[in-house]
Amino acid sequence: MPELTENLIRLRTVQGVGNAIIWRLLRHFGDSDRILGASEQELCAVKGVSPALAGRIARAGLYDPRDEMDKAVRAGVDIIPYDDAGYPMPLRHMFDPPVVLYVRGRLIPEDGVAVGIVGTRHNSRYGKENALNLSAALARGGFTIVSGLARGVDTFAHTGALQAGGRTIGVLGCGFDHMYPEENRDLALEMTHSGAVVTEFSMATSPSRDTFPVRNRIIAGLSMGLLVVEAPLRSGSLITARLANEIGRTVFAVPGRMDDARSEGCNRLIRDGAVMVLGVDDIFRELNPSLQEDWDETNPPPPPPQKKARQAASAKAVEASLNAAREEVREKSQEREKAAPARPMTAAVPLRKPSPDLGENERVVLACLTPEWAVVDDLTEACGLDAGKASAALAMLRLRRLAEQGPGQTYRLYRT
């Protein structure tokens, strides 16, 4: 196994080191050997690396990766680093792509033409039928189906692709030592013969409320477009949809009854600009696979003509909104400087109190938010979390009306 893979496994074992930190280290030092050979003082020069973390990274070279590698071999799992020819090309165009992928099965270049299908674990019959039928139709049309191997809509998305004789990729929110949910173990095995099961987590990583939002960005990244079949407002599927939109993937949604909570998330997505799907033709028409070229490092597939105009208009609108937001912040800052502060802004502007059931990452991100707009990259660095974890936490805070999103991927505390 290449030395880079061994070094990345060593770095992944360090507590507090995730994709974001590893990418910063790689950009700073140039290669993994120099990272593991660096002094603690040199490591501290990298943004986000504290003295304590630097000490742990400096000792990472002592870790023997052979146990992890042997365990993967016995389980029939390949460990693919980011520079490997077999690494999925669509992921290379993401922010914060996984530095390694654990793969059981086989990834092929044709998997670059893929649609992600996600939805609630507690689906209705309507959701089940749409997931099965749309997945099968897309698979027959040449799309690889990507989903998360969860109960409900994910299961039916994978099943529909297999029944149609197509390819499908499952993205785990845990390591291969575990299968969650257990009842999908046979489905995952069948998928390895007509696709693959992948994860970025080490073999022994257990599923948790933190790992599933992180894996959602891989579902989005592997897909040209993301279809939400059935999802309530507080759903991981909406996090995946937002991540897909942020990296330029087309978001689709199946409409449902307005009095059905299981369709409320889809209906909101459509209201906010997602492509409404009344049949598989709506997806074919939007993605138009006949116009797509193979994914290439320097030449990603061009969008269909009807999408180019919308993307250009959207880019201009976002830029205009961002400039307006910056001007608003500048004007308010000048006004505050002229006025004598009678009391802190947090006292003058009531903020929603934190919910007691917030997860650890959500609390960390919430503590970094202020009443002023901040760009997501600055928040990610301030929190010390991976971009995927920070984005997932922000999405949950928005759903709970503790944070609000502004133009240009800016966030602040929610104002009541």
What percentage of the chain exceeds 70 in pLDDT? 81
Question: At 399, is the pLDDT very low, low, confident or very high (cuts 50, 70, 90)?
Answer: low
Residue 305 has pLDDT above 80, yes or no: no
**What does the pLDDT look like over 152-169, one tens digit per residue?**
999 999 999 999 999 999
Residue 307 has pLDDT above 50, yes or no: no
What is d(CA 230, CA 221) in angstroms, rounded to the nearest whole number?
20
pLDDT (0 to 100) of residue 267 = 96
What is d(CA 289, CA 275) in angstroms, rounded to the nearest whole number?
17
Residue 333 has pLDDT above 90, yes or no: no
Determine contact, residues 257/271, Cβ cutoff 8 Å. Answer: no
pLDDT (0 to 100) of residue 306 = 38
Residue 317 has pLDDT above 80, yes or no: no
pLDDT (0 to 100) of residue 215 = 92
Question: At 401, is the pLDDT very low, low, confident or very high (cuts 50, 70, 90)?
Answer: confident
Average pLDDT rounded to a whole number, residues 189-201: 97
What is d(CA 196, CA 366) in angstroms, rounded to the nearest whole number?
36
Main-chain dihedrals φ then ψ at residue 252, nearest 5 degrees? -115, 155
**Which residues pair with residue 228 across a beta bridge?**
118, 253
Question: At 331, is the pLDDT very low, low, confident or very high (cuts 50, 70, 90)?
Answer: low
Average pLDDT, the chain: 83
